[in-house]
Structure 1
Amino acid sequence: MAPWTAVDIPDQTGRTAVITGANTGLGYETARALVAKGARVVLAVRNLDKGKAAADLIGRRYPGADVTVQELDLTSLESVRAAADQLRAGHDQIDLLINNAGVMMTPKQTTKDGFELQFGTNHLGHFALTGLLLDRLLAAPGSRVVTVSSNGHRFGGIRFDDLQSERSYSRIGAYGQSKLANLLFTYELQSRLAATDTIAVAAHPGASSSELGRYAPGAVQRIAPLLEQSAEMGALPTLRAAADPTVRGGQYYGPSGLLQLRGYPKLVSSNAKSHDVAVQKRLWAVSEALTGVVFPLG
């Protein structure tokens, strides 16, 4: 069977995609590929100047492209709410929400709301954004929420007794927790969406060239170039999760090569921790309490 590539993305004319962190790297390549297939794309970014530059670049490559920029700082729930309000005002329906933005292995920091930076950005910010936009997704036939996780989910656990790493902090452990949370969120969201026409899917890029690794330990940065594939290749699992008509809710896509580090996208598996239903439900309840966002689902 031939590998799945961006050529296999069906026509996206008439569909609206909101992509977080889309001004560079994996998010930019995801946006570019969807625009090439006719999608209306919103680049949801923290830095408006960089977002506008990315939109201009896409527009020059694809004349007539419908690309707009939305300010979104996932480290601030106030910004998440403001962005959601503006997106809701501009769109009656959203076909794709791609939760792509993230930080990795940062020094110990907190978000504007006092959450550990990686957990707050990678999980809580996207949890809140998804909940605030969910009615627009439910209004679009065949809509999808795609959340980008990582192989790093295998290195973490959900530390309910120290979610914000106040007692002890590990860059890798906190990153692993946030990426495991992305999967727990996807699987629990899918269970809650089961009676709807909207699905939740996860993806991961393997080892891909992007700005994400700039805070990684020196040893990781030295070995990374030997393992990495291009951002264009790294975006393919996300694109398949977003656009392949055969995708089903609750699936997880990643590279097909050794250790899922590189290669064309295929259906992959996540670890046992990510499938713990009790932890999925507990994390959901904690996330609602921390963000104040309650999803409009039974």
Structure 2
Amino acid sequence: MTYPLASRAVTGLMSAGDKERLDGLVLWAGTAGGTANALTVTTGAGLTALRRDMVIGLRATAANTGATTLTVDGLTAEVRRDGVALAGGEFQPNMDARVQYDGTCWRFMGSGLTIKSSGVHIGGGVTSLDFVLGTGSVSVSGALATITINLPPWRYLRVEALTPSHLPRPPGSTYFNDYRGVGVYLTSNATGTNWALGKTATASATAPEYGANDVLDGNPTTRWANPLGDTSPPWLQIDFGASGLPQAPGSVTIYPADSVTAAYIATQLRLGLSRDSIGWVWTPAYATASTPGVTQVFNNLTFS
């Protein structure tokens, strides 16, 4: 069981040392002051500079309503999600959240309790505990604190480039990806129902004539491409709707646009799975074929 940031209802049952290990060395800053869109915290560590990859845990007292900054020990940076300003509602009142500094801004990593797998044991002494987990719920009872988890379904799948494409990139571009279709299957060998067909897609960026939804329309003549000049690792995200997937997918197929642009697929990519588009589990990095026109098939997927 991994808790990227545990609920205070749980961490309150543990020693400070246990909490630090549980939270993955999160520097807990307590309840934030300031305003909903300009949060301030004091860590007690007397920070004089924000260090890349440092993680801060905090609790907001109100929901943010738009672009948000966080000041830690007097040092201010914007909080962003997926590289863009917050839209509002990411921070929720009386819920723990964590952010990670990427060298330029705070990266919003989620709020509340994120559970990546089932099964956990908390030391004795707990007789009952209930708290909300997103749109799911968790209940704890018994001397050994057995946890029953009812989680919402997997709703989002993301294809994320990790390295530049096989072919020489277009002038001014670091990355360029070009897909005409994506298949998502519950089976481990890309057979059966394509659960992505007809769903909704978004992307990190799109070329004007090549929209993200074009990879899910079943039409081999339409496609998605991120724009020329893109210097950020592109991603494509599929929303399966409120009903989500009945289980984690076992395989994913990516159909390159055509025999020329096919090799613009990144040399390495990974697949992500999320219930809320905030907390993610990921596959290992996969190498892709360097030959133009080759369909990329990723079987026997594992997410962690």
TM tier relative to shorter chain: under 0.3
TM-score by length of 1: 0.27
Higher strand residue share: 2
Greater RCO (Cα-Cα under 8 Å, separation 6 or more):
1
TM-score by length of 2: 0.27
Higher helix residue share: 1
